[in-house]
Amino acid sequence: MKTRFGDQPLSEEMRRQRWHYSLLAREIGVTRQQLYAAGRGIVVPSPVLRDKLPAILGVPLSQLFTAEALDYRYQDNHHRFDRSSGNREERSRHERVHP
């Protein structure tokens, strides 16, 4: 599956050190899905992942994620992408429209 940033070196490093997504996510304090999405290049690594992964795995951040993923500005889930115009529109949690 083609993802925004492609597979990240994090996945290989986790395999090398024999970490499972669920165990490492618990150690960091995030969900397994958050860690998996960052490791597969689906989303940008969050500040929590950027801070805690290098310390836990003992490798620099630049060896866990590609420069493209690290250079992309992190934005939380409070943004909605308007596909028709290509603009992001800020919405609070209370204004979100759920299908």
Mind listing the pLDDT tens digit for each residue in 18-73?
999 999 999 999 999 999 999 999 988 999 999 999 999 999 999 999 888 888 76
CATH of domain 1-74: 1.10.260.40
Residue 93 has a pLDDT of 46
Residue 12, pLDDT > 60, answer yes
Residue 57 has a pLDDT of 97
Residue ranges per structural domain of the chain: 1-74
Q: Which two tokens stand for residue 99?
A: 């299908």
What would the mean pLDDT of 61-90 be, rounded to a whole number? 64
